[in-house]
Structure 1
Amino acid sequence: MSMNLPLAGQVAAVTGAASGIGLASARAMVEAGARVVLIDRDGQALERACALLGSTALPVVLDLLDPAQCATLLARTLALTGQLDIFHANAGLYVGGDLVDADPEAIDRMLNLNVNVVMKNVHNVLPHMIGRGTGDIIVTSSLAAHFPTPWEPVYASSKWAVNCFVQTVRRQVFKHGIRVGAISPGPVITSLLADWPAEKLAEAKANGSLIEAEEVANVVLFMLTRPRGMTIRDVVMMPTQFDL
């Protein structure tokens, strides 16, 4: 294994890969030598991302909220690459603010993408990884998985569910050589913050309490490059100035 290309020979798939943490994660894996399938519903943004990352970045346009399309994730990945070593379940939505003000349809969409789709995607890729006797699954969680964040009850609840899912599935599949872990960043500068209350965002920026997507991607790479006998189950990462 080359120290410069620790993921050489491996294939990764990343959901929500056209922007934010997903794009940063895909870039880090490409730079580490992996072939990476970028999965997103935004075809134009995917094209731009893959043009940026080069020939080892492969786009798959998929609307994960469409159950029929969601079910094709593994098949479409394998059609391009023949194998899958790393799956980063990253796609997610954000709903913040008071529950009384929330749109019920937005609640459905968010829980569907943040929880159900993650479970379905992992269910989809597991048999392939079990058959090969190896694999890495990483889920983008949140600091909100570890603290009952009062300004985002719907979002925080979805991440508490994801945290439980990661810890329970890990214990079912480690006997197959599969590692399952989560990253739990505090506020990251991505499109999800567009939905933050304006005063909260201004306050966070003023305090320097935001982190970059690239910093999260570096942690993903750290998790993936540990010796196989070690699993990083969850990394909670936050800005040093973050008051929580």
Structure 2
Amino acid sequence: MMDRFAGKVAWITGASSGIGAALARAWSDAGAHIVLSGRDESRLAQVAKDCATDTLVLPFDVRDDAAMRASCEQAVGWKQGVDVFVANAGISQRSRATETAMEVYRNIIEIDLTAQIAATQELLPHFTARGSGHLVFVSSVAGKIGIPLRTAYCAAKHGLIGYADALRAELSQSGISVHVVCPGSVATNVSRNALTADGSARGRSDSVIEQGMAPEEAARRIIDGVAEGEREIIVARGGESSWGEQRRTPDALFDEVAQLVASGYMDRIEAEG
């Protein structure tokens, strides 16, 4: 299945480490050309060295709209355009709601939700003009259920799924595929980099993260799911997998909403003025 990406262009945000870096290497091994984005240019350059195909490094902070727009223009202008966009950049949280500063909520929602929407909106004209491609949103099992010590993170990741699901419905007649990825515990720096109640980095990991799925396995599952057209891709084990599966949206419901669009629902609502 992965060979269908040979010669395609995959753009991955949050690509300097963890799942993003593993996705870059795996998609490159499948023959895709890779655009790498994140804040740390030196780490992105190292990931680029690990890739077997052509790479383009576009470092920027996802909260910088001007830099994001410039990067979109460069990515679209490179080779034949962008075939796969992976909204993967994000930051987590480890703090009680009763102790968490409001600025932490604003920062996490801006990085994990608003900035991902902004980049997607910038790219939508490119995808819709081509009538093909994959939009991949990396949410979390915590985007399906509420996990303690992650109220801001859960709010952002639930919101990302809501945006993706509505966007999928709107694009259901366009030839563009929209995928939501819900990882559980993956052995990355997500917990170490998580924000605490005052907005500082936690600086240490969780045992469940340390013992989590290897990023390489997560990347393979994600790419296989995209190749197979899965609309929700649960990437978890054990109890976390059970949580994700219990909250999985039935394909029949996605189909029902897509049929609503096919029947002219959006045109009718807009015509009502």
Fold match, TM over 0.5?
yes
Identity %: 25
| Greater than 6 Å deviation, 4+ residue runs | 196-200
Code of the aligned partner of 2:70: T
- Asked whether the equivalents of residues 5 and 33 of structure 1 are also in contact (C-alpha less than 8 Å), the reply is yes
> Normalized per residue, which structure has more strand?
1
**Alpha-carbon distance change, 153 to 177 in structure 1, aligned in 2, over 3 angstroms:** same
Matched, 1:225 2:207: no
CA-atom RMSD in angstroms: 2.2
Give the C-alpha shift of residue 6 in structure 1. 2.5
Alignment of 1:1-244 (within 5 A): 5-195=3-193, 201-202=206-207, 204=208, 208=211, 210-226=212-228, 231-240=229-238, 242=240
Distance 1:200 1:34, change over 3 A: closer
Gaps (5+ residues) in structure 1? none
User: Which secondary structure state, in structure 1, belongs to the residue aligned with residue 3 of structure 2?
Assistant: coil
Q: Which structure 2 residue ranges, 5 or more long, are not aligned?
A: 195-201, 244-273
Cα distance in 2, alignment partners of residues 183 and 220 from structure 1: 7
**C-alpha separation in 2, matches of 1:62 and 1:48:** 16
Answer with 1 or 2: which has the greater Rg.
2
Cα shift at 1:55: 4.5
CA distance in 2, matches of 1:23, 1:117: 19
| 2: CA distance, partners of 1:185 / 1:170 | 20
Matched residues in 2 for 1:189 and 1:177: separation?
Answer: 34
SS where residue 37 of structure 2 aligns?
strand
TM-score (norm 2): 0.79
For the residue of structure 2 that corresponds to 1:187, the secondary structure is: coil
- In 2, Cα distance between equivalents of 1:216 and 1:205: 13
Please state how far the C-alpha of 1:52 moved relative to its aligned partner. 1.7
The amino acid across from 1:211 in the alignment is: M
Aligned counterparts of 1:69 and 1:98: Cα–Cα separation in 2: 33
> Residue deviations 1:109-150, cap 9 Å, x none?
211011101111111111111111101011110000111112
The residue type equivalent to 2:56 in the other structure is L
| Distance in 1 (alpha carbons) for counterparts of 2:73 and 2:97 | 38
Contact conserved, 2:8 with 2:33, CA < 8 A, in 1?
yes
CA deviation after TM superposition for structure 1 residue 199, in Å: 9.9
